[in-house]
């Protein structure tokens, strides 16, 4: 791509997840993990979450530790109905 703002979808997902974490970092501690997980469960389409789990498995994935912690509460997407 011909300019620096055009990131891959994976880069964008990491960026978005970290943005969400940034907000919840400022919220009371006990709400932060659930806050991140709920937000992603509520608003991320299954293929976004599937990509997210792929990213999660990679070393140096760039994800905020809060996102990593929240990951166990993020729903694994099921198969797409035909």
Partner 1 sequence: MSLIQEIDYGTPASTSEKMITLTIDGNEVTVPEGTSIMRASMEAGIKVPKLCASDMVDAFGSCRLCLVEIEGRNGTPASCTTPAVEGLVVRTQTQRLKDIRKGVMELYISDHPLDCLTCAANGDCELQDMAGAVGLRDVRYGYEGDNHVFAKAGVVANDRWLPKDESNPYFTYDPSKCIVCSLCVRACEEVQGTFALTIEGRGFNSRVASGARESFIESECVSCGACVQACPTATLTEKSVIQIGQPEHSKVTTCAYCGVGCSFKAEMRGEELVRMVPWKDGKANRGHSCVKGRFAYGYSTHKDRILNPMIREKISDPWREVTWDEAYKHVANEFRRIQYQYGRNSIGGITSSRCTNEETFLVQKLVRAGFGNNNVDTCARVCHSPTGYGLKQTFGTSAGTQDFDSVEHTDVVIIIGANPTDGHPVFASRLKKRLRKGAKLIIVDPRRIDLVRSPHVEASYHLPLRPGTNVAVVTSMAHVIVTEGLFDEKFIRERCDWAEFQDWAAFVSSPEHSPEAIEQISGVSPQLLREAARLFATGGNGSIYYGLGVTEHSQGSTTVMAIANLAMATGNIGRKGVGVNPLRGQNNVQGSCDMGSFPHELPGYRHISDESTRDIFDKLWGIKLQDEPGLRIPNMLDAAVDGTFKGIYIQGEDILQSDPDTKHVAAGLAAMECVVVHDLFLNETANYAHVFLPGSTFLEKDGTFTNAERRINRVRKVMSPLNGYADWEVTQNLAKAMGLNWNYQHPSEIMDEVALTTPSFAGVSFDLLDREGSVQWPCNEKAPLGTPIMHIESFARGRGKFIRTEYVATDERTGPRFPLLLTTGRILSQYNVGAQTRRTDNVIWHEEDRLEIHPHDAEQRGIRDGDWVKVTSRSGETTLRALITDRVSTGVVYTTFHHPTTQANVITTDFSDWATNCPEYKVTAVQVGASNGPSDWQVKYDEQARQSRRIAPVLDAAE
Count of H-run helices and E-run strands, the chain: 4, 0
User: What span, in angstroms and rounded, lies between the C-alpha atoms of 48 and 9?
Assistant: 9
Nearer to partner 1, 47 or 73 (CB): 47
Nearer to partner 1, 5 or 72 (CB): 5
User: What span, in angstroms and rounded, lies between the C-alpha atoms of 1 and 5?
Assistant: 9
Nearer to partner 1, 46 or 62 (CB): 46
Write out the residues near partner 1 by the rule CB under 8 A: 1-7, 9, 12, 16, 19-20, 22-23, 26-28, 39, 41-48, 77, 80-82
């Amino acid at each position: 791509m011909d300019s620096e703002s055009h990131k891959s979808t994976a880069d964008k997902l990491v960026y978005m997840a970290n943005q969400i974490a940034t907000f919840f970092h400022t919220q009371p501690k006990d709400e932060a993990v659930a806050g991140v997980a709920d937000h992603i469960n509520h608003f991320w389409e299954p293929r976004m979450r599937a990509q997210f789990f792929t990213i999660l498995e990679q070393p140096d994935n760039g994800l905020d530790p809060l996102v990593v912690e929240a990951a166990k509460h993020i729903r694994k997407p099921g198969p797409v109905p035909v």
